[in-house]
Amino acid sequence: MEPVLETAMRQFHQAADRIELRDEMRELLTSFKTVYQTDFPVNMDNGSTKVFSGYRVHHNSARGPMKGGIRFSSIVSLDEIKALAMWMTWKCAVVNVPFGGAKGGVICDPGTLSSSELQDLTRRFTSEIAPIIGPDRDIPAPDMGTNAQIMAWMMDTYSMEQGYTIPGIVTGKPVAIGGSEGRFEATGRGLLYVLQEHLAAEGGVRDRTVSVQGFGNVGGVAAKLLCEAGARVQYISDVATALHHPEGIDALAAFAHVQAGGTLRTWLDEHPNAAEEVAHEDVLTADVDVLVPAAVESVLTEHNAGDVRAKLIIEGANGPTTSDADAILNERGVMLIPDTLANAGGVTVSYFEWVQARQYLHWSEEQVNAELRRVMTDAYHNVISRCPLNSGGMCTQREAAQWIGVERVVEAIELRGIFP
Ligand code: GLU
């Protein structure tokens, strides 16, 4: 078992121990409803044909249709997709949206594919997984390496095969074809709302020093919104470049540059005084108030958890902290707001998008953001009610979120019963 799946399993079993979950329920919840693997050919621009491997995994559907992103990355593996599908089940339950958990991915490096190769790969993969997805069955969304354009191609492929437009088949689509206002920023915005709630009694996020690892749809947006909210974003990083400025980095300008097709390297080249380059590890061990790991899984491990100097970690990525690191951070009194709560804003607005698609309605951005704030705030207080901030480390927010997730899924399974 790869470390990422081991982390997901250990988190589940820790919660299962605390709520004394019976063995057959543990067996059910550590199993996967559907594991779909497909090898499929794509015609490349140079005339050759290349075979790619992809996955779609359903973890559990007790609470509703299954939901989760599609990842295009060269490090995709079946164990990773299983772990991410399981986390989706708990995440949807923690924010109480009526979905089960799924995830998918294709092993590829999207940066090396031309636009037409990317489109052909997306369309063929969609066609391969079409039998197990559907607007009432399993609704994909963007994740690492995928975006609104890729969702548009998925929606079109599925719709063409059915013979009519089915906007509810994916979320995270462009707004012009039924996407939701606010979906692009939703994960970072949801993270900000949770953080604002967490720090409300201590003066909010204004003037807090922050370090953000990852500068994509989660980290980039979070850094930008934190800047706008008055935090001092001292560190940012993308896969190639890590930057620091003691007075704070203009993350709005950096994000606008990256959105226009640049990288943090080219931004620094154009604005050499905006920041200084530092080592990637410095971003994780920065002496700041808040650390936001928003890149990939398993970046906080037993090897560096002892060096973390932030007082608070809020997880933008899925599974950035291994179980060993969790134990070390908890022991050291570092407060951690877990992924299944902190980054659930994405799937929450995905739910709003799906509802709008089913009703052929269009909500305003104000309405989306207000509903998002309500859902994230309720979920945060629900977690905190299980794990008071003054519990003296007896219970972490990760454990509390995991209990809520597992309990809600178990309740659904028990109410529905086992078929036949
Ligand atoms: N990929 C995102 C996540 O990991 C969003 C999933 C969705 O919107 O369905 O939460």
Check residue 395 and give its pLDDT. 86
- Taking the centre of ligand 1 as the mean of its atom positions, its distance from the CA of residue 399, in whole angstroms, is 21
Arch. (CATH architecture) of 186-337:
3-Layer(aba) Sandwich (3.40)
Ligand 1 atom at minimum distance from 99 CA = 9
On the 0-12 / 13-18 / 19+ scale of CB atoms within 10 A, 303 is exposed
Please identify which of the residues 33, 67, 91, 103 carries the catalytic annotation: 103
Binding site membership of 347 for ligand 1 (Cβ less than 6 Å):
yes
Distance between CA 272 and CA 218 in Å, rounded? 25
pLDDT in tens, the chain (420 residues): 999 999 999 999 999 998 899 999 999 999 999 999 999 999 999 999 999 999 999 999 999 999 999 999 999 999 999 999 999 999 999 999 999 999 999 999 999 999 999 999 999 999 999 999 999 999 999 999 999 999 999 999 999 999 999 999 999 999 999 999 999 999 999 999 999 999 999 999 999 999 999 999 999 999 999 999 999 999 999 999 999 999 999 999 999 999 999 999 999 999 999 999 999 999 999 999 999 999 999 999 999 999 999 999 999 999 999 999 999 999 999 999 999 999 999 999 999 999 999 999 999 999 999 999 999 999 999 999 998 766 655 789 999 999 999 999 999 999 999 999
Binding site membership of 211 for ligand 1 (Cβ less than 6 Å):
no
- Report helix angle 345-359 to 186-198, nearest 10: 130
- Which helix (H) or strand (E) segment holds residue 5: the answer is helix 3-18
Binding site membership of 346 for ligand 1 (Cβ less than 6 Å):
yes
Ligand 1 atom at minimum distance from 84 CA = 4
**CB-CB contact of 85 with 401 (8 Å):** no
CA 257 to chain centre: 23
CATH 3.40.50.720 placement within the chain: 186-337
- Taking the centre of ligand 1 as the mean of its atom positions, its distance from the CA of residue 349, in whole angstroms, is 9
Binding site membership of 103 for ligand 1 (Cβ less than 6 Å):
no
Check residue 392 and give its pLDDT. 59
> Is 33 one of the annotated active-site residues of the chain?
no
Q: Does domain 33-177 have CATH number 3.40.50.10860?
A: yes
Report whether the peptide linkage leading into residue 420 is cis, meaning its omega lies within 30 degrees of zero.
yes
Ligand 1 atom at minimum distance from 172 CA = 8
Write the DSSP string, 112-176. Answer: GS-HHHHHHHHHHHHHHHGGG-BTTTEEEEE-TT--HHHHHHHHHHHHHHHTS--GGG-SS--GG
CATH 3.40.50.10860 placement within the chain: 33-177
Check residue 391 and give its pLDDT. 60
Check residue 297 and give its pLDDT. 95
**CB-CB contact of 343 with 320 (8 Å):** no
CA 213 to chain centre: 14
Query: Which tokens in the block code for residue 13?
Result: 């079993």
- Taking the centre of ligand 1 as the mean of its atom positions, its distance from the CA of residue 88, in whole angstroms, is 7
Ligand 1 atom at minimum distance from 318 CA = 4
Check residue 195 and give its pLDDT. 98
Check residue 394 and give its pLDDT. 72
Q: Exposed e or buried b for every residue in 229-260, given b needs 16+ CB within 10 A?
A: eebbbbbbbbeebbbbbeebbbbeebbebbee
In degrees, to the nearest 5, what angle opens at C-alpha 181 toward C-alphas 175 and 184? 85
- Which helix (H) or strand (E) segment holds residue 347: the answer is helix 345-359
**CB-CB contact of 305 with 293 (8 Å):** no
